[in-house]
């Protein structure tokens, strides 16, 4: 059976005239973004935008959470919407957007009027690979086949079973997705309002998704549509026209992006209301992995409007105003050299001169993304446990995603020295020093000398700061004697036997 929606789309296709597709032309649109990023397709139409020869504007606009019962509609706490930008702290929810049109007749003199319109949202903006910074593989869900409205057999021997066909699946009893809304049978399966005393038998999707116009099975059986045109809204573009003169049409499953369109009956056109006119709603589930800025615009050669008297697609677009989903990328420390929680087991000073100190005097930090300009003020240095002799930063040298933090002295012995990045995730990288602690147990004792003996045989393989205890530059059997000197406190060395470090206080770094 041909549905009314399909008839509407056939009528609309007859009214709209197709246009050729060519390459994108570079140019500027809203906020200085390059035109080919927000619109793609016909060069003439993009050139009109760049040259500002038209006045009509198309908007992809974020809206507050829809008041439906589906829990994914709730936005993260603290979300904000500023003009075309929805900013949230994290993904894991369903975002809602309106497609809007305005200013085809900015002086409101009735010329031009709109007979047919079409707005094609560009699905490439849903892709994480096109986000800034790129987030490959983390796409906004499209098509959003996530809102279930399964049909079930109503009555008979198969009552309650999932179905798609009354005759075949339900032994000739009705197969329905409708439920009672209100009344004593609220929530029960129904075919008509006769089964809903005090209520109505209705499509569950408007209540589930929070707006009239949402419907079950419009594109795929058993799933609520993720895009629709709510013709009951006062800002609906054809609100001033008789319902019998409106032919709305939304095609929401095209791989290149959803399409929101419409036309009027012959001889009936749409006046510019002087405000943004609503032409469609789109839901885009945002995965938990989403980070950065997703910019969503239009496809130029499939976005247009025309009046009745003039040539096809004769109302030029002056501006495509993209929408943006922003999930701030919080910069963190992902690695360090030496690695976090490293314990320097080597001589902390010259065995003959306690004033000549040895040890780490710098750390290289790797960030999850470019942290921007860095200076000493962006970091905090602490020692754990606290005490005198805490290093201060003498220099910060940045190279891409890495920064070398140089101290004014070597890190103190028998303590952790910690570097906290005061921006982003505020991660803390700690490295320590404990003479003779070859096995990194945070306790200096006889087992450390035994660990050195095993390491000479190659099992286990240890780092230079665990083995070259005399700081000669190579690991030799003499380092076993150095371990004994450290444990027993020979010469100017302190006695390390029995000394400990507390648990490594590194924060946020694997």
Number of domains in the chain: 3
- pLDDT for 128: 95
Residues 154 and 238 in one domain: no
Q: For residue 118, what are its two tokens?
A: 């079409």
Peptide bond connecting 133 to the previous residue in cis, omega within 30 degrees of 0: yes
Per cent of the chain over pLDDT 90 is 79
What is the CATH classification number for the domain harbouring 81?
2.60.40.680
CB neighbourhood size of 101 (10 A): 24
Secondary structure of 304-322 as H, E, C letters: EEECCCCCCCCECEEEEEC
- pLDDT for 352: 96
Q: Is residue 39 part of a domain?
A: no
Of 327, 352, 376, the last residue of a domain is 327
Q: Label residue 369 by pLDDT band (50, 70, 90).
A: confident
Q: Which tens digit of pLDDT belongs to each residue from 385-412?
A: 999 999 999 999 999 999 999 999 999 9
- pLDDT for 370: 82
Q: Which tens digit of pLDDT belongs to each residue from 163-192?
A: 988 888 999 899 999 999 999 999 999 999
| Backbone conformation region of residue 182, classed left if phi is above 0, alpha if psi is from -120 to 50, else beta | left
The pLDDT of residue 112 is above 50: yes
Beta bridge partner(s), residue 175: 153
The pLDDT of residue 1 is above 70: no
Give the mean pLDDT of 243-249: 95
Query: What is the Cα 2 distance to its own chain's centre?
Result: 39
Residues 157 and 245 in one domain: no
Residues 285 and 368 in one domain: no
Beta bridge partner(s), residue 321: 59
| Cα 432 from Cα 340, distance rounded (Å) | 9
Q: Is residue 33 part of a domain?
A: no
Q: Which tens digit of pLDDT belongs to each residue from 252-270?
A: 999 999 999 999 999 999 9
Q: Label residue 308 by pLDDT band (50, 70, 90).
A: confident
Average pLDDT, the chain: 89
DSSP assignment of 354-410: EEEE-S--EEEEEESS---S--GGGEEEEEES--S----EEEEEEETTEEEEEESSP
| Backbone conformation region of residue 156, classed left if phi is above 0, alpha if psi is from -120 to 50, else beta | left
The pLDDT of residue 34 is above 70: no
| Cα 472 from Cα 452, distance rounded (Å) | 15
Give the mean pLDDT of 462-491: 96
- pLDDT for 219: 87
Least confident of 97-111, 181-195, 305-319: 305-319
Give 460 or 396, the one with higher predicted confidence.
Answer: 396
Residues 343 and 412 in one domain: yes
- pLDDT for 454: 94
Q: Which residues span the domain enclosing 61?
A: 4-21+55-147+221-327
Give the mean pLDDT of 138-164: 93
Q: Label residue 32 by pLDDT band (50, 70, 90).
A: very low
Residue 156 carries which DSSP code?
Answer: S
Q: Which tens digit of pLDDT belongs to each residue from 318-366?
A: 999 999 999 988 889 999 999 999 999 999 999 999 999 999 999 999 9
Give 365 or 17, the one with higher predicted confidence.
Answer: 365
Residues 422 and 411 in one domain: yes
Sign of CA dihedral 455, 461, 466, 471: positive
Angle at the Cα of 502 (from 441 to 403), degrees rounded to 5? 90
Q: Which tens digit of pLDDT belongs to each residue from 285-299?
A: 999 999 899 999 999
Q: Label residue 310 by pLDDT band (50, 70, 90).
A: low
Q: Is residue 494 part of a domain?
A: no
Closest CA to 72 of 227, 286, 225, 226: 286
Q: Is residue 246 part of a domain?
A: yes
Q: Is residue 228 part of a domain?
A: yes
Closest CA to 115 of 241, 6, 8, 4: 241
- pLDDT for 43: 53
């Amino acid at each position: 059976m041909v549905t009314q929606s399909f008839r509407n789309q056939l009528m609309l296709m007859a009214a709209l005239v197709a246009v050729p597709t060519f390459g994108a032309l570079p140019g500027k649109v809203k906020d200085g973004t390059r035109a080919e990023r927000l619109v793609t397709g016909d060069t003439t139409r993009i050139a009109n935008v760049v040259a500002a020869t038209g006045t009509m504007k198309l908007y992809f606009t974020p809206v507050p959470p829809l008041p439906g019962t589906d829990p994914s509609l709730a936005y993260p706490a603290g979300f904000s919407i500023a003009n075309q930008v929805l900013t949230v702290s994290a993904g894991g929810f369903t975002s809602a957007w309106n497609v809007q049109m305005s200013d085809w007749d900015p002086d409101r003199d009735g010329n031009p009027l709109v007979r047919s319109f079409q707005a094609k949202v560009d699905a490439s903006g849903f892709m994480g690979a096109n986000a800034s910074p790129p987030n490959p593989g983390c796409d906004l869900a499209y098509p959003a086949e996530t809102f279930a409205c399964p049909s079930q057999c109503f009555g008979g021997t198969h009552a309650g079973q999932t179905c798609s066909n009354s005759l075949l699946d339900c032994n000739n009893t009705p197969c329905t997705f409708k439920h009672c809304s209100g009344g004593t049978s609220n929530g029960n399966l129904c075919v008509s309002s006769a089964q809903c005393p005090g209520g109505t038998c209705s499509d569950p999707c408007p209540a589930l998704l929070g707006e009239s116009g949402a419907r079950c099975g419009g594109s795929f059986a058993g799933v609520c549509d993720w895009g629709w045109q709510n013709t009951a809204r006062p800002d609906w573009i054809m609100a001033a026209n008789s319902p019998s003169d409106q032919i709305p049409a939304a095609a929401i499953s095209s791989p290149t992006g959803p399409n929101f369109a419409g036309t009027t009956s012959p001889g009936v056109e749409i006046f510019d209301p002087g405000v943004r006119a609503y032409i469609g709603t789109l839901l885009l589930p945002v995965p938990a992995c989403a980070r950065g800025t997703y910019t969503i615009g239009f496809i130029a050669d499939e976005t247009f409007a025309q009046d009745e008297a003039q040539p096809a697609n004769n109302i030029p677009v002056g501006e495509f105003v993209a929408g943006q989903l922003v999930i701030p990328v919080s910069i963190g420390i992902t690695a360090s050299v030496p690695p976090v929680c490293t314990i320097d087991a080597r001589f902390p000073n010259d065995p003959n001169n306690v004033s000549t100190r040895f040890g780490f005097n710098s750390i290289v930090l790797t960030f999850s993304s470019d942290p921007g300009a860095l200076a000493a003020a962006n970091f905090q240095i602490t020692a754990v446990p606290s005490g005198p002799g805490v290093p201060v930063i003498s220099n910060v040298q940045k190279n891409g995603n890495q920064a070398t933090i140089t101290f004014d002295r070597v890190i103190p012995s028998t303590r952790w020295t910690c570097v906290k990045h005061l921006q982003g995730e505020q991660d803390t990288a700690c490295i320590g020093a404990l003479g003779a602690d070859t096995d990194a147990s945070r306790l200096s004792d006889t087992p450390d000398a035994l660990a050195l003996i095993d390491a000479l045989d190659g099992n286990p393989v240890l780092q230079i700061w665990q083995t070259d205890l005399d700081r000669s530059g190579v690991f030799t059997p003499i380092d076993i004697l150095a371990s004994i000197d450290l444990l027993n406190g020979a010469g100017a060395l302190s006695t390390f036997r029995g000394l400990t470090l507390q648990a490594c206080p590194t924060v946020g770094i694997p």
